[in-house]
């Protein structure tokens, strides 16, 4: 079972244009889709589609259409008292796969709301294969919320994965090793932001990415899955480092591709796969998601891990 927490969920509305986006102009819309989302929610969707049970903790009213939609999708949604309405995020996609995102901040939370979310996770974590803390934090939440929750989760048992960015990610890194999760999933830019590397170099140089990720391993993190967009991903553990290249993909929308990659890794771990095979499944899931419209989560039959090339990387110490 995969337990997810999405502290700042969203209704993801995707607008597909039939031409290139041009500021200040009138555009014709090819299609509009809308569904409940957020990083943790996306991972729960992927889990259900792969036959893995998942519980999604989200701040929302029990009768909110957002919650009802997740329940209809087969996700065991556990809503906790929200600070306000679920925010709406807008994604604009162009025919060549270029994606523009407009994310709203969400309602400002109080300490009460944060503790309700934390307790909802803590009481279920010991029965989960993985607990995933994912996405941005709502307004009013301290940057160290994830770091503190990881520390508390380590006391109750179970493995923890974290996928976040900006101030919450930096706070998590600053709190290492006391708040070290079992898995972190930064992208190249995020990895560069707290290791002092060059983001463009990390995106294009798997060895440099592995060396940067190794810094996190040395500070107590169990594994680092660094996603590099079209250049695939790098996995670093205490046992070694590997780079995976994606299969040929016609990019339709990159929204949710990172979430799918993270799920692919977790699925591989649950299946007992070796590290290189977990990485291959992660990249296969991310590539499949990039080839689908909007925030569509790939079904297992979309995923071709056999087309992913995995190469061991040399000494990254």
Whether the CB-CB separation of 295 and 42 falls below 8 Å is answered with yes
Q: Which of 163, 182, 259, 277 is catalytic?
A: 259
Catalytic residue list contains 174: no
How many Å apart are CA 6 and CA 99, to the nearest integer? 22
Residue keyed to tokens 């569509």:
296
How many Å apart are CA 229 and CA 176, to the nearest integer? 26
- In a 3-state reduction of DSSP, which class is residue 214? helix
- In a 3-state reduction of DSSP, which class is residue 88? strand
Furthest-apart CA atoms within the chain: distance in Å = 55
- How far is residue 129 CA from its own chain's centroid? 17
CA atoms within 13 A on the CB side of 200: 0
Token digits for 139? 């307004």
Sign of CA dihedral 187, 202, 287, 50: negative
Whether the CB-CB separation of 257 and 298 falls below 8 Å is answered with no
CB atoms closer than 10 angstroms to residue 20: 11
* Burial group, residue 25, by CB count within 10 angstroms (0-12, 13-18, 19+): exposed
Q: Which residues are catalytic?
A: 259
């Amino acid at each position: 079972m995969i337990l997810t927490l999405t502290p700042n969920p969203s209704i993801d509305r995707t607008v597909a244009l039939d031409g290139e986006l041009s500021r200040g102009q009138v555009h014709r819309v090819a299609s509009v889709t809308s569904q409940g989302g957020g990083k943790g929610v996306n991972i729960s969707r992927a889990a259900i589609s792969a036959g893995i049970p998942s519980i999604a903790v989200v701040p929302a009213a029990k009768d909110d259409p957002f919650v009802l939609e997740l329940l209809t999708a087969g996700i065991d949604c556990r809503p906790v008292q929200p600070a306000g309405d679920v925010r709406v995020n807008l994604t604009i996609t162009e025919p060549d796969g270029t994606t523009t995102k407009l994310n709203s901040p969400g309602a400002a939370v109080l300490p009460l709301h944060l503790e309700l979310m934390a307790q909802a996770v803590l009481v279920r974590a010991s029965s989960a294969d993985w607990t995933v803390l994912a996405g941005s934090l709502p307004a009013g939440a301290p940057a160290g919320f994830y770091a503190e929750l990881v520390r508390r989760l380590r006391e109750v048992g179970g493995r923890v994965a974290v996928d976040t960015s900006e101030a919450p990610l930096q706070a998590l890194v600053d709190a290492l090793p006391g708040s070290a999760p079992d898995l972190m999933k930064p992208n190249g830019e995020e990895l560069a932001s707290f290791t002092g590397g060059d983001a463009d170099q990390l995106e294009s140089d798997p060895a440099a990415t592995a060396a940067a990720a190794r810094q996190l391993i040395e500070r107590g993190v169990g594994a680092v899955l660094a996603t590099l967009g079209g250049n695939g991903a790098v996995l670093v553990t205490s046992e070694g480092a590997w780079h995976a290249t994606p299969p040929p993909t016609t990019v339709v929308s990159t929204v949710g591709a990172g979430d799918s990659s993270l799920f692919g890794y977790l699925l591989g771990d649950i299946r007992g796969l070796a590290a290189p095979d977990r990485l291959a499944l992660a990249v296969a899931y991310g590539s499949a998601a990039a080839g689908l419209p909007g925030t569509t989560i790939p079904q297992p039959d979309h995923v071709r891990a056999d087309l992913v090339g995995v190469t061991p990387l040399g000494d990254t110490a």
